[in-house]
Structure 1
Amino acid sequence: MVLLIGSSMFAQSVSAADPSLAELKKVLQSQIELMKPELKGKVKDLSMDTKMSLMAILAMHSRYSERATLRQVMTEVLSDYQSVLAGIMTDNPEHTADSARRLANHRIPVGGLLPYLGMENISDERLAVLDSFNSSVEGNALKLADAAEAGDMVKAASLIGDISSGCVGCHGVFRSQPGVSDLLSLK
């Protein structure tokens, strides 16, 4: 679920010989370019541990939007979640697994995640919870997909509550008024 960093340490550690790392660097740079100066400053002040954690979450995704806001991405996630439920309720393992994998690899919004969280949440302390929310939602969505593919729809269904708890927990910490962030300099 994240975007981050403009860390020169990260930029220096990315090798042009590794296409996946080079691509991640490009994504990160494009996200940082969209940030307003006050957000860039807060991101720069994050600890390297927080930056690396956010990068690890971002690296789990392969779909990045140049237009969709976090609110739009969350609507897609809700749609995928509802599709997982439909697959479980109709005992359709393929439907369930496909929907769960889409949920786990949801699109990253324009500018990444941080511009939508609010300046008050751009700190090491506040962002430390993202890893657990990511594991709860995306990690359990992948486990659910694996269970469905193995034909164990009971196990797949048992993971729905954990996914829901992760969604609700993250929203409880970070969500305020949904919509376009005032921390992006969009053209």
Structure 2
Amino acid sequence: MITRLPIPLLAAASLASAAALAADPASPPMPPAEMQQMMKSYTPELRQKAMALSPELKGTIQKLHAGHTRRAKETTLRQVMHEILADYQAVAAALATDNAEFASEAARRLANHRIPKGGLLPYFPLKQVNDADLGVLPTMNEVVEGSALKLADAADAGDLPKAASYLSDIMTGCVACHQKFRGTPGVSSNLLSPVRK
């Protein structure tokens, strides 16, 4: 059973991509050539921030990427998030209609979502591309994608109530991540707030 973590800890890692890594810690890191190709697409500022990350965190990010078999050619992170939401909704619909096979399939697809164009780093706010903010990616990954894989296993075993119990863990991780890295959609720091007296 997953221990519930405080929202800030959950949030700090949201977009990690390696449920498969949780199942296979020996997963090889992303080939250096692929990582170098991603780095070529970064702005100089992002490249500098990425190079300043600790070797341990760089290795973790490579392993998180390597845990996914699907790579986007042009798909952005926002589009990948839409795909993940569609898979989550498919899981919920499948569980509500006692369709264990579809629930398992959609949950595994969610856990193996595609890596967006350029990898994960370009989509984090530049000020959060550092060891402190990105260091909990494996924990967040386990909450979101690890729970999706546990859901799939429970559905494969025909235990739909247990499978359904993992839905809230997945959503808790998603929402916490969005609070940390995305902020509130539609809210702009460029608008003046009225002063109340």
Q: TM-score range by the shorter chain?
A: 0.7 to 0.9
The 3 A distance-change label for structure 1 pair 22 and 137 is closer
- Normalized per residue, the structure richer in helix is 1
The 3 A distance-change label for structure 1 pair 77 and 35 is same
Q: How many residues align?
A: 162
Using the TM superposition, give the Cα deviation of residue 169 of structure 1 relative to its aligned residue in structure 2, in angstroms. Answer: 1.0
Find the counterpart in structure 2 of residue 138 from structure 1.
145
1:169 to 164, 176, 186: 176
Matched residues, percent identical? Answer: 48
Find the counterpart in structure 2 of residue 90 from structure 1.
97
| TM-score, normalised by the number of residues in structure 1 | 0.81
Find the counterpart in structure 1 of residue 38 from structure 2.
31
Separation in 1 of the partners of 2:178 and 2:184? Answer: 11
* 2:39 is the alignment partner of 1:43: no
Superimposed CA distance per residue, residues 109-152 of structure 1 (whole angstroms, 9 cap, x where no aligned partner): 10111111111110100001222211110011001001100111
The question of whether the paired residues in 2 share the 8 Å contact of 1:2 and 1:55 is answered with no
Using the TM superposition, give the Cα deviation of residue 25 of structure 1 relative to its aligned residue in structure 2, in angstroms. Answer: 2.7
The question of whether the paired residues in 1 share the 8 Å contact of 2:143 and 2:169 is answered with yes
Letter in 2 for 1:121: Q
After TM superposition, where is structure 1 displaced by more than 4 Å over at least 4 residues in a row? 20-23
2:126 to 101, 113, 119: 119
* 2:74 is the alignment partner of 1:67: yes
Using the TM superposition, give the Cα deviation of residue 26 of structure 1 relative to its aligned residue in structure 2, in angstroms. Answer: 3.2
The 3 A distance-change label for structure 1 pair 166 and 111 is same
- Partner SS state of residue 66, structure 1: coil
Separation in 2 of the partners of 1:47 and 1:35? Answer: 18
The 3 A distance-change label for structure 1 pair 176 and 24 is farther
The 3 A distance-change label for structure 1 pair 42 and 22 is closer
* 2:113 is the alignment partner of 1:106: yes
Separation in 2 of the partners of 1:124 and 1:23? Answer: 19
Identify which of structures 1 and 2 has the higher relative contact order when contacts are C-alpha pairs closer than 8 Å and 6+ apart.
2
Find the counterpart in structure 2 of residue 6 from structure 1.
none
Letter in 2 for 1:116: Y
- Partner SS state of residue 122, structure 2: helix
* 2:162 is the alignment partner of 1:155: yes
The 3 A distance-change label for structure 1 pair 57 and 40 is same
Using the TM superposition, give the Cα deviation of residue 177 of structure 1 relative to its aligned residue in structure 2, in angstroms. Answer: 8.1
